[in-house]
Amino acid sequence: MRRFEYLRVASINQAIERLSDEPGAKLLAGGTNLVDLMKYDVATPTTIIDINDLPLREISETSDGGLRIGALATNSDVAFHPVVENRYPLLASAILAGASAQLRNVATVAGNLLQRTRCSYFYDVMTPCNKRTPGTGCPARNGLNRNHAILGASQDCVATHPSDMCVALAAIGTMIIVQGPNGARSISLADFHRLPGDTPEQDTTLQNNEIILGIELTPAPEFQRYSYLKIRDRLSYAFALVSAAALLTIDDGVISTAHVALGGVAHKPWRDTAAEVVLVGRPASRGNFDQFASMLLLRSDALSENGFKIELARRTVVRALEQAASRTPQSQSDKHIH
């Protein structure tokens, strides 16, 4: 690991000031991704700004019935919070589908939002990578790309976003609250992560001198129909090949709202609200779910090794919607798919 200066800050403003003064500085929260990237020489911060003393761990209900979650709340804090378990079970389920208990005990909400792709070329500093070193090329496009994107990729980058939590946040509808030198602003999750385009080095729309304060979840009714279905190469502790987060409201067999987000398929959690509209007012039937899934994947594009993910994604969406509709969400411990 390269050497760096260590600064433990006592205030949010102190963190923002240092970020503004020193472009090479990085914030340290749980560190489960950043420290790993530093060991691989992929991240080489000049200063580590440790923000663990900042008061950003609180989880509290908002006046409009939503939920505000502090940036430093750990993944375990969130997954086992009573309000999350009762009103946002999709989020709890998605978090518990990811990583391991040890990692979830340390990894934070903000770190999860900002975690970087697991593309093997990005991690290997001996190979080119436009995301790590802009302008060097993308060996994944014609190389090892079995895990890579089938939606929204560019000539320059075919990486996927690895988070499970963010897929649930996309389906729920979430605002990211950030603060910079000019004050605070909110960014919707849909606008927070980017598609790679010709600047894949930028994962998000967060500015270099901004800090995430927390997230706010859209108010959710209790007992909403949901499922988080994650398909991977082994039963646990692996990144998704494809995952689907489904939220449904059904009245008398007819769908009144449908939110579906896909993970493991793109540079960001993938959601298509225009396609969701076709489900509204229709019976919650397999035929309608099939039609929706096909629409969602209409613009999918296979690389040399990941063509299987298109059909896998289609079936995962249909199954997740069926699980949600029948109130039999995917268990994250009993991995049989019912």
Of 32 and 154, which has the nearer Cβ to other proteins? 32
DSSP string, 35-98: HHHHHTTS---SEEEE-TTSS---EEE-TTS-EEEETT-BHHHHHT-HHHHHH-HHHHHHHHTS
Q: Does the footprint of other proteins cover residue 1 (CB under 8 A)?
A: yes
Residues 241-300 that bind other proteins (CB under 8 A): none
Q: Which of 10, 39, 191, 327 binds other proteins (CB under 8 A)?
A: 39
**DSSP 3-state of 275:** helix
Least Å from the CB of residue 330 to other proteins: 12
Report the residue number, 106 or 177, with the smaller CB distance to other proteins. 106
Q: At a CB cut-off of 8 Å and minimum separation 6, what does 299 contact? A: 151
Token couple for 146 = 């079995």
Q: Is 326 in the site for other proteins (CB under 8 A)?
A: no
Selected range binding other proteins among 27-35, 169-177, 209-217, 275-283, rule: CB under 8 A = 27-35
How many residues sit close enough to other proteins to count as binding (CB under 8 A)? 36
Strands (E), the chain: 5-8, 25-28, 47-50, 59-61, 67-70, 174-180, 183-188, 211-217, 225-231, 242-251, 254-263, 270-271
Q: Which two tokens stand for residue 312?
A: 């896998």
Note whether 22 binds other proteins by CB under 8 A: no
- Between 47 and 209, whose beta carbon lies closer to other proteins? 47
Choose, by CB under 8 A, the member of 16, 19, 27, 28 that binds other proteins.
Answer: 28
In the shown chain, the binding pattern of residues 92 to 121 toward other proteins, with x for contact by CB under 8 A and - for none, equals -------xxxxx-xx---------------
The first and second tokens of residue 179, run together, are: 């603060």
Note the maximum CA span of the chain: 62
Asked if 321 interacts with other proteins (CB under 8 A), we say no
Nearest CA to 29 out of 4, 46, 12 is that of 12
In the list 11, 13, 46, 142, the residue contacting other proteins (rule: CB under 8 A) is 46
CB of 129 to other proteins, least distance (A): 18
What the block records as the tokens of 255 is 């769908």
The binding site for other proteins (CB under 8 A) comprises 1-6, 8, 28, 31-32, 35-36, 38-39, 44, 46-48, 50, 52, 80, 99-103, 105-106, 235-237, 331-335
